[in-house]
A = this chain, B = another copy of it.
C-alpha cells in the first residue's frame, strides 16, 4: 500500500499488530481515528491505552487484573472463601463471572503445562497456588481449564501436589467440546458445566 503520509502509514502498521487485524481493517481504523481527531474519542482511546500501560495492577493473590494491588474479587467479603476456581487466563475469569453462577475465588495459572512449548510448572503460578491452599481454608478446588492435553496434564500435576490434602477436587463437566476454547463458549453451556462439575477422579479416568 502507498500512502501520501509516512505518519499515517506507520499508524496503519501499528494497527496491523492487533490480533486478527489485516491491512484493510488497519486502514479503516486509522481513517476512522483521523476523522475523529478533533473530538474526545481519540483522547479517550489514548488515555485508555496509557492506563493499560501504567495503571492496571496484577492482583498479588489470584493474578487477575485489578485497579488496586488486590483485585475486587479477592477483597470482596461476600464471596465464599472456601471454594477456589483454577483457570488459565484472565479471559476465563471474565467468562465465568458472566455466567453469574460462581461466587468463590479464583486462581489464574497464566498458562498450562506444555513441555513441547517449554512451559513447565515453574513458569506458571502453581507455587503461589500451593501457598494459598496451605494457608487458606479451601474445601473445594474447581478446575476450569480448556479440555486439551495441556489442560489435562495441568490438572493431573496439581492433583498430585494436592494428594495429601482433604480438599475436594472437581472439574467442570465435559459439556465443552474437545479442542474448543472457553472464551467462545456461550454463557449457558459454561454455566451448566459449572453446575454439573464432576469429582476429579471421574474426570481423569474417562
Given the known interface contacts A46-B49, A49-B45, A52-B7, the answer about A94 and B27 at a Cβ–Cβ threshold of 8 Å is yes
The interface on chain A, measured as residues whose beta carbon lies within 8 A of the other chain's beta carbons, has a size of 58
Q: Is residue A90 within 8 Å, beta carbon to beta carbon, of the partner chain?
A: yes
Given the known interface contacts A2-B98, A18-B32, the answer about A27 and B65 at a Cβ–Cβ threshold of 8 Å is no
Binding site for B on A (CB under 8 A): 1-8, 10-11, 14-15, 17-20, 24-25, 27-34, 37, 41-46, 48-53, 55-57, 59, 64-67, 71-73, 89-91, 93-94, 97-98, 183
Q: Which of B7, B20, B50, B94 contacts A51 (CB 8 A)?
A: B7
User: Nearest Cβ distance between residue A130 and chain B, in whole angstroms?
Assistant: 23
Q: Could you tell me the distance between the alpha carbons of A71 and B7 in the complex, rounded to whole angstroms?
A: 12
- At the interface, is chain A mostly helix, strand, loop or mixed? helix
Q: Could you tell me the distance between the alpha carbons of A123 and B18 in the complex, rounded to whole angstroms?
A: 35
Q: Could you tell me the distance between the alpha carbons of A25 and B91 in the complex, rounded to whole angstroms?
A: 12
What are 18 A-B interface contacts by the 8 Å CB criterion?
A: A4-B59, A4-B97, A5-B72, A8-B65, A10-B48, A11-B48, A11-B52, A14-B41, A19-B28, A19-B29, A20-B25, A27-B94, A31-B90, A31-B91, A33-B52, A34-B52, A34-B56, A34-B90
The answer to whether A55 and B11 have CB atoms under 8 Å apart is no
Copies of this chain in the oligomer: 2
* Chain B residue with the shortest CB-CB distance to A25: B20
Other contacts beyond A3-B65, A31-B89: 10, CB < 8 A: A1-B98, A4-B97, A8-B65, A15-B48, A31-B91, A33-B49, A33-B53, A34-B56, A46-B46, A46-B49
Given the known interface contacts A8-B65, A56-B5, A56-B8, the answer about A28 and B20 at a Cβ–Cβ threshold of 8 Å is yes
* Chain B residue with the shortest CB-CB distance to A65: B5
Determine the chain B residues whose CB is within 8 A of the CB of A42 once the complex forms: 49, 52-53
Q: Could you tell me the distance between the alpha carbons of A94 and B97 in the complex, rounded to whole angstroms?
A: 44
